[in-house]
Amino acid sequence: MTSLLRSILPNSSPKEEDNYYDDDDDDHSVEYSFAMEYTGPLVSHDIPQVAPVDVRRIPTAAMAVMVSNLSLPVIQPIVKKTDNSPLVYSTKLENFSHIEGVSKSNLENRTLSSSSSDTLGFSDNLNDSNCVSGSSDLDKDCNNHLNPIISDSTKSMSRSQELYSEHSSCESVEASNQGNRTSVVTFRDLPSNNSYSEETDLDEPETVPHRPVVPELKSGLCYRCNKRNRFSEKEFCIVCGAKYCSKCVFRAMGSMPEGRKCIPCIGYRIDESKRGSLGKCSGMLRRLLTNDAIKQIMSSEISCGVNQLPPNLVCVNNKVLSIEELVLLQSCSNPPKKLRPGRYWYDKVSGFWGKEGEKPMQIISADLPVGYQILQDASNGNTNVLINNREITKAEIWMLQAAGIHCEGNPHFWVTADGSYQLEGMNYVMGKLWEKKRVKIVCTALSLPFPSDTSISVGEEVAKETNKVNLKKQEQRMMNKILLVGCDQSGTSTIYKQAKILYDVPFSEDEKQSIKYMIQKNLYSYIAILLEGHEHFEQDYLVEMRRRCADEPSSSGDKIEEKNMYSFNRRLKEFSSWLLQITMSGDLEAIFPAATQVYSPLVEELWKDKAFQATYKRRNELNMLPRVANYFLDRAVEISRMDYEPSEMDMLYAEGVTSSNGVASMEFTFPKSSQDGYMEPLDQNDPSTSYQLIRVHTSSLGEKCKWLEMFEDVDLVVYCVSLTEYDEYHEDINGKQTNKMLASKRLFETIVNHPTLSEKHFLLILNKFDLLEEKIERVPLNQCDWFQDFTPVISHHPHNATSNNNTPLAQRGFHYMAVKFKRLFTTLTGRKLFVSKVTGLEGDSVDLALKYGKEILKWDDERHVVSTNEFSTESIERTTSM
Ligand SMILES: Nc1nc2c(ncn2[C@@H]2O[C@H](COP(=O)(O)OP(=O)(O)OP(=O)(O)O)[C@@H](O)[C@H]2O)c(=O)[nH]1
Ligand SMILES: [Ca+2]
């Protein structure tokens, strides 16, 4: 401690120096002067600095090997002359004797007075494995000398003294022992790994002094050597923000007992804007140190007292927190993640937790006596529906709806921590919110919290959870949200399902079940079309036979009937007419899939029947049969069975996907392919980049897509348009015929103009290209008013060949429509629209489009990195995976 002080003071008076080194000095009043804080003007020149040395942190052999590999200078530990600890010391020496080139005598010669900041910094850096582990002999030894808790006498001291004492280590302890002084200043235990388990960690951190932030240097400069290397990674100090290159980082930061702080910043409060990066060091540091070392440093960084959030910066339900409240909040089994200075609301009954004026962001432990009562407008909801006296947000209404809860009549609900809900004033639990799968889907899609399934117990579990939480944090930071929207029939659900298949995201049991029913129901409708065709074929055949009969008078009419290759037996005849009848009456929906079991044997019989097979062979003549029918009819017998399990392909081809409120959500990552490798160096360090694809039905977005505001945190909007819509019409509510392409254009304008999405990137997917290829040859594009000026040269001047003419018409049609949308987008936003040509039923095509989306997001990231500061906190975080 004192050495640090001395090093800060550029001109320590000789008197002080004398006092310090005079071991036999009993004058305590002089001793205090060392703890005085330097309050003079900021020093502009480099000051030699000494890192405090902690006896407990004296290096072990294992770590020394690492350092010697790096060929760093090594310093020997400080000799502790007290008789109380001979064992400790010899152990240390033994450890040290393993180090190449460091002799015992050499070690013994070094004393505290060696004030080379470099070597001290490095030596301290060796601490790792011993420094924070709370149970080593070294610790016990230290604690024998010291009261681990600040004694009463300490309380009369100035805050800064206290803090200094806290952050000094056994080194200073030793100094006082050597002098046989009565310990007036006593020391607390070093922080443990567990940030939440120890109350003392948070002991009055509001008193931790701020250290002035160093002036920003030109980008790329190392704050120590002043050398510029714009593109090499740097590590920054979480207090002052100074950045250091790999050569200087250890010299500047020493052993990092409180994490990444330059030595003069040790003991100072961290820069709150860097709180998010606590525990996440740069890739550079990870390259320089071993995993264990990094873990130790990062763990101290997260858990040491001075780095804790000051309670007075946190306000819950309009109450500025006391230290006790903050401790309660952070030490509960499920504490708020990423707690930063700010104003929050807390619903003590359910555990919902959010930022003031915003929807809930987390479910934390309930019933904590933290903050005042919640206010009705805490989350700024405008739905007239209350949960535990708080007016909820629209997103939460969707969540309730997904759980099957009706919100008509502005009900007031009472929701408890386990998700049980009841109407206010009624003593009757109506159900549990979290039991429905759909609720989870909606919650993920709308960024609403959902309780984690692991129930957390106390004790060591908390530590595990803290780690998990940190991992989760990491995941959330890396999560890119993609919103997929489009008009009905544009193919959004096909693309959504395709992505599931492409990126190995299994369909849930719920989804499988309802897609299965849908496929089975559709199968009967396809069979009905075949049977209708069959009736015609049978009839035609009869006519034909009769005609032939007329030519050959010898054969009788009865024989003609028998010979009719399209004749069914009685049972099939009955089945056929029954199925046709219910299809005509539109009852198919009501009968299947319930009747599947009963009719499955008939389907089998049908398929074995020659007459039916004859019909089936001619199915191409049946215009009514949708394209996709072939795919399913080939396996009709299998599909009609009760135990049919749809394959992924089946689910893709099935028309539609289940969802609640039109919201479906999935998480995926792009698989690493060897080809990608060379193109994506960034990703190599960054395997955790994951994506969330959210599909939402525009019909559930309300008037003018009002509820898009719920998707404020998406990173990319993918708008889907079917290329075949240009000659299609649908009836609007007033019975007016509207061209579907124009309807798509209008919806596109509404979404692009929506204030929530004003800054978002847009990727336009022009889908169903396979169908366009067929259609455009038959139906000209200018069927749509918007495409009047599409005049492909080829059709008008077939003999005047240009290079253009070799391009297929569909390709040019696509290009033309893409340009139309691009211009529209630029007119609306002044920005660039990205466009992708897709055939939704082809995996590769969807894969390409989504990878394009990924590129857009990556470009955006990189642009930010380059334009702001070359290694901003975020950019460093991005490369971190701790
Ligand atoms: N030929 C072809 N058909 C496609 C393509 N994309 C989608 N389809 C079909 O078009 C129909 C409508 O697609 P959906 O994915 O259901 O479109 P959607 O209306 O956005 O989604 P839902 O609202 O859930 O119905 C389905 O029958 C799909 O199989 C494509 O690229 N080519
Ligand atoms: Ca549809």
User: From ligand 2's centre to the CA of 663, what distance in Å?
Assistant: 13
User: Would you state the structure tokens that stand for residue 849, as one six-digit string?
Assistant: 């489009």
From residue 392, how far is each of 243, 382, 419 by CA, in Å? 44, 7, 15
pLDDT at residue 104 in the model: 38
Mutate to test the pocket of ligand 1, among 494, 518, 695, 774 (most ligand atoms within 8 A of CB): 494
pLDDT at residue 723 in the model: 96
Kindly report the number of other CB atoms within 10 A of residue 623's CB atom: 8
- For residue 275, tell me if it sits in a domain: no
CA distance 520 to 678: 46
pLDDT at residue 557 in the model: 55
Q: Is 491's C-beta closer than 6 angstroms to any atom of ligand 1? A: yes
Place of tokens 């994490």: 259
State whether 449 and 552 are in the same domain: no
User: From ligand 1's centre to the CA of 654, what distance in Å?
Assistant: 9
User: Would you state the structure tokens that stand for residue 781, as one six-digit string?
Assistant: 């594009």
Residue 289 has pLDDT above 50, yes or no: yes
**Bridging pattern class, strands 431-432 and 412-415:** unpaired
pLDDT at residue 203 in the model: 37
130 confidence band (pLDDT: 50, 70, 90): very low
State whether 172 and 31 are in the same domain: yes
Annotated binding site: 493, 660, 767-770
Residue 594 near residue 582, CB atoms below 8 Å = no
CA distance 349 to 753: 39
Q: Is 839's C-beta closer than 6 angstroms to any atom of ligand 1? A: yes
Ligand approaching nearest to the C-alpha of 491: 1
pLDDT at residue 430 in the model: 87
Please write the tens of the pLDDT for every residue from 509-532.
Answer: 878 888 888 898 889 999 999 999
Nearest alpha carbon to residue 723 among 809, 803, 629: 809
CA distance 666 to 417: 26
Q: Is 765's C-beta closer than 6 angstroms to any atom of ligand 1? A: no
- Whole-prediction pTM value? 0.57
Residue 661 near residue 398, CB atoms below 8 Å = yes
Higher-confidence residue of 737 and 175: namely 737
Per the prediction, the chain carries an average pLDDT of: 74
CA distance 653 to 841: 8
Mutate to test the pocket of ligand 1, among 490, 493, 775 (most ligand atoms within 8 A of CB): 493
- For residue 44, tell me if it sits in a domain: yes
User: Would you state the structure tokens that stand for residue 49, as one six-digit string?
Assistant: 């600095």
User: From ligand 2's centre to the CA of 697, what distance in Å?
Assistant: 9
State whether 761 and 849 are in the same domain: yes
Q: Is 768's C-beta closer than 6 angstroms to any atom of ligand 1? A: yes
**Bridging pattern class, strands 342-346 and 314-316:** parallel
Neighbouring C-alpha atoms within 13 Å toward the C-beta of 510: 11
Nearest alpha carbon to residue 333 among 321, 351, 349: 351
CA distance 713 to 460: 34
Question: Structurally, how many domains does the chain consist of?
Answer: 4
pLDDT at residue 755 in the model: 92
Q: What is the DSSP string of 2-23?
A: HHHHHHHSTT--HHHHHHHH-T
- Average pLDDT estimate for 582-596: 79
Residue 465 has pLDDT above 80, yes or no: no
Please write the tens of the pLDDT for every residue from 165-209.
Answer: 333 333 333 333 343 333 333 333 333 333 333 333 333 444 567
State whether 410 and 541 are in the same domain: no
Closest ligand 1 atom number to CA of residue 490: 20
pLDDT at residue 247 in the model: 87
Kindly report the number of other CB atoms within 10 A of residue 617's CB atom: 9
- For residue 482, tell me if it sits in a domain: no
Higher-confidence residue of 740 and 794: namely 740
User: From ligand 1's centre to the CA of 719, what distance in Å?
Assistant: 14
State whether 446 and 552 are in the same domain: no
Single-letter code of the amino acid located at 182: T
User: Would you state the structure tokens that stand for residue 642, as one six-digit string?
Assistant: 């009760």
Residue 632 near residue 653, CB atoms below 8 Å = yes
48 confidence band (pLDDT: 50, 70, 90): low
For 558, which DSSP code?
H
Please write the tens of the pLDDT for every residue from 83-103.
Answer: 443 333 333 333 333 333 333
Q: Provide the residues around ligand 2 (an ion) whose CB is within 5 A.
A: 488-489
Kindly report the number of other CB atoms within 10 A of residue 680's CB atom: 17
In this structure, what are the phi and psi dihedrals at residue 746, rounded to the nearest 5 degrees?
A: -65, -45
Ramachandran bin of 837, using left for φ above 0, alpha for ψ from -120 to 50, beta for the remaining angles: beta
- The CATH number of the domain where 774 resides is what? 3.40.50.300
For 482, which DSSP code?
E
CA distance 765 to 750: 17
Closest ligand 1 atom number to CA of residue 494: 15
CA distance 641 to 520: 9
First-to-last alpha carbon distance for the chain, in angstroms, is 31
User: From ligand 1's centre to the CA of 840, what distance in Å?
Assistant: 7
State whether 639 and 704 are in the same domain: no
Q: In what order do the strands lie in the sheet with 386-387?
A: 390-391, 386-387, 412-415, 420-423, 431-432
Higher-confidence residue of 397 and 178: namely 397
283 confidence band (pLDDT: 50, 70, 90): confident
281: Cβ contacts below 8 Å, ≥ 6 apart: 235, 260, 294, 297, 298, 876, 880, 882
**Which residues on adjacent β-strands are paired with residue 574?**
none
Annotated binding site for GTP: 767-770
Closest ligand 1 atom number to CA of residue 720: 20
- Average pLDDT estimate for 113-126: 35
- Rounded to 10 degrees, the C-alpha dihedral 278/279/280/282 comes to 100
Nearest alpha carbon to residue 764 among 832, 702, 811, 830: 832
CA distance 697 to 486: 7
Among 195, 228, 255, the domain boundary falls at 195
pLDDT at residue 703 in the model: 82
Please write the tens of the pLDDT for every residue from 326-364.
Answer: 888 888 888 898 888 999 999 999 999 999 999 999 999
Q: Is 424's C-beta closer than 6 angstroms to any atom of ligand 1? A: no
Q: Residue 101 belongs to what domain range? A: 4-195
Ligand approaching nearest to the C-alpha of 698: 1
- For residue 426, tell me if it sits in a domain: yes
Annotated binding site for Mg(2+): 493, 660
Q: In what order do the strands lie in the sheet with 352-355?
A: 319-320, 314-316, 342-346, 352-355, 360-363
Q: Residue 4 burial (CB < 10 Å; 0-12/13-18/19+)?
A: buried
State whether 175 and 54 are in the same domain: yes
Among 170, 195, 220, the domain boundary falls at 195
- Average pLDDT estimate for 418-443: 85
Q: Is 854's C-beta closer than 6 angstroms to any atom of ligand 1? A: no
E-only strand ranges, 723-878: 729-731, 737-739, 761-767, 834-837
227 confidence band (pLDDT: 50, 70, 90): confident
Higher-confidence residue of 144 and 835: namely 835
State whether 467 and 563 are in the same domain: no
The answer to which of 313-317, 463-467, 593-597 has the lowest mean pLDDT is 463-467
Query: Which residue has its alpha carbon closest to ligand 1 atom 23?
Result: 488
Q: Is 215's C-beta closer than 6 angstroms to any atom of ligand 1? A: no
Closest ligand 1 atom number to CA of residue 653: 29
Q: Is 728's C-beta closer than 6 angstroms to any atom of ligand 1? A: no
State whether 758 and 846 are in the same domain: yes
Query: Which residue has its alpha carbon closest to ligand 1 atom 21?
Result: 493
Closest ligand 1 atom number to CA of residue 659: 24
Helices (H) and strands (E) in the chain, counts: 37, 20
Higher-confidence residue of 666 and 150: namely 666
Cα 267–chain centre separation: 33
CA distance 476 to 471: 9
CA distance 381 to 710: 12
In this structure, what are the phi and psi dihedrals at residue 194, rounded to the nearest 5 degrees?
A: -95, 110
From residue 838, how far is each of 147, 482, 505, 697, 811 by CA, in Å? 71, 17, 21, 20, 12
State whether 640 and 686 are in the same domain: no
pLDDT at residue 873 in the model: 36
State whether 442 and 532 are in the same domain: no
- For residue 780, tell me if it sits in a domain: yes
State whether 400 and 520 are in the same domain: no
Query: Which residue has its alpha carbon closest to ligand 1 atom 10?
Result: 491
Mutate to test the pocket of ligand 1, among 489, 498, 525 (most ligand atoms within 8 A of CB): 489
Q: What is the DSSP string of 407-454?
A: -TT--EEEE-TT-EEEETT-----EEGGG-HHHHHHHHHTT-----SS
User: Would you state the structure tokens that stand for residue 500, as one six-digit string?
Assistant: 């599931």
Q: Is 725's C-beta closer than 6 angstroms to any atom of ligand 1? A: no
pLDDT at residue 583 in the model: 87
Residue 156 has pLDDT above 50, yes or no: no
- Average pLDDT estimate for 733-757: 92
Among 195, 215, 237, the domain boundary falls at 195
Q: Is 841's C-beta closer than 6 angstroms to any atom of ligand 1? A: yes
pLDDT at residue 733 in the model: 76
Q: Is 744's C-beta closer than 6 angstroms to any atom of ligand 1? A: no
The percentage of residues in the chain with a pLDDT greater than 90, rounded to a whole number, is 32
Residue 833 near residue 844, CB atoms below 8 Å = no
Q: Is 698's C-beta closer than 6 angstroms to any atom of ligand 1? A: no
- For residue 718, tell me if it sits in a domain: yes
Cα 599–chain centre separation: 47
Residue 684's SS3 state is helix
Longest dimension (CA), the chain: 140
735 confidence band (pLDDT: 50, 70, 90): confident
- For residue 343, tell me if it sits in a domain: yes
641: Cβ contacts below 8 Å, ≥ 6 apart: 600
Higher-confidence residue of 192 and 655: namely 655
User: From ligand 2's centre to the CA of 654, what distance in Å?
Assistant: 11
Q: Residue 431 burial (CB < 10 Å; 0-12/13-18/19+)?
A: middle
- Average pLDDT estimate for 9-14: 40
CA distance 818 to 834: 9
Please write the tens of the pLDDT for every residue from 53-81.
Answer: 565 655 555 544 444 344 555 555 555 44
- For residue 663, tell me if it sits in a domain: no
Higher-confidence residue of 703 and 538: namely 538
1 confidence band (pLDDT: 50, 70, 90): very low
**Which residues on adjacent β-strands are paired with residue 316?**
319, 344
CA distance 541 to 672: 58
Q: Is 656's C-beta closer than 6 angstroms to any atom of ligand 1? A: yes
Residue 484 parent element (H or E): strand 479-486
